[in-house]
């Protein structure tokens, strides 16, 4: 489902962004922060109702596109909506939508693994490819180093260090980390920044979807708290993309101060 047909009046948006998984958690926090900083944002999530609410709250700087972020037609709608609503191609894409899966290799529910791989790896890679193609074409309109172009991938510390309680989920993050680094080496020399942001434990709806138990979450609080909130990661994303075009923070890890591992 594509965003509403209205065209935003403002034409001097400093950035036009696409954010997947924008209805809650890190994605919502990133979308809100970018809008607060004057950017135009196309936000994606599965649920139209929440996106409609954000459109009403955030005003003409936000357009929602509902659907599965791993679906090619939805991905195309994101870029089409950016141009239709805000007058030009997106120059900032935040690949955030993902699915969790709790449990060690010996105990994880592998019946859910295929969907996790589809969302976290296959769909994310397709979006990275589409973003790279669009941004490379857009360099003629907004050339480097006059203008910045950013692709930000939300990875995980579980994709940096093997964790016994989330190794199956972590495998998808290890893989998308590799894809992001490959893309950085490919398009970085052409003036497009690809940044990997790896959060530690962020207290969002992710834990419930991944079926972490209340006891596990309480253990995170006890051992590592205060835990991160989505806004903490959003600040890191904002810092990365606000650098001058010739400055690239390629990788950033954001943990709660007391989280020693992973």
Which are the catalytic amino acids? 169
Eight-class DSSP state of 228:
B
- Which ranges constitute the DSSP H helices of the chain? 25-36, 48-58, 72-86, 113-117, 124-138, 167-187, 206-209, 214-224, 230-241
Residue with tokens 């260090």: 161
Radius of gyration of the chain (CA): 18
Q: Answer whether 2's CB lies under 8 Å from 81's CB.
A: yes
Q: Answer whether 198's CB lies under 8 Å from 254's CB.
A: yes
Q: Is 235 exposed, middle or buried (0-12, 13-18, 19+ CB in 10 A)?
A: middle
Closest Cα partner for 153 from 191, 114, 186, 193? 193
Q: Answer whether 93's CB lies under 8 Å from 151's CB.
A: yes
Question: Residue 218's CB: how many other CB atoms inside 10 A?
Answer: 11
Q: Answer whether 25's CB lies under 8 Å from 205's CB.
A: yes
Q: Which two tokens stand for residue 257?
A: 């101060």
């Amino acid at each position: 489902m594509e965003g509403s047909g209205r065209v935003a009046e403002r034409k001097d948006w400093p950035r036009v962004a696409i954010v997947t998984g924008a209805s809650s958690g890190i994605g919502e926090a990133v979308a809100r922060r970018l809008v607060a900083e004057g950017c135009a944002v196309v936000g994606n999530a599965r649920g139209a109702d929440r996106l409609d609410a954000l459109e009403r709250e955030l005003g003409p700087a936000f357009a929602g596109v509902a659907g599965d972020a791993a679906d090619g037609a939805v991905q195309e709608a994101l870029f089409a909506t950016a141009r239709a609503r805000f007058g030009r191609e997106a120059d900032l894409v935040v690949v955030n939508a993902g699915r969790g899966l709790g449990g060690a290799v010996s105990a994880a529910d592998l019946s859910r693994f295929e969907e996790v791989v589809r969302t976290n790896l296959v769909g994310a890679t397709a979006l990275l490819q589409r973003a790279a193609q669009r941004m490379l074409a857009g360099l003629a309109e907004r050339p480097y180093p006059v203008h910045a172009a950013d692709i930000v991938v939300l990875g995980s510390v579980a994709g940096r260090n093997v964790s016994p309680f989330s190794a199956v989920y972590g495998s998808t993050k290890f893989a998308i980390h590799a894809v992001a680094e490959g893309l950085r080496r490919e398009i970085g020399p052409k003036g497009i920044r690809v940044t990997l942001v790896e959060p530690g434990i962020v207290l969002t709806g992710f834990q419930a979807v991944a079926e972490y138990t209340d006891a596990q979450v309480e253990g995170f609080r006890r051992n590592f708290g205060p835990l991160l909130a989505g806004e903490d990661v959003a600040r890191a994303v904002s810092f990365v993309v606000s650098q001058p075009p010739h400055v690239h923070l390629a990788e950033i890890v954001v943990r709660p101060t007391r989280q020693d591992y992973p």
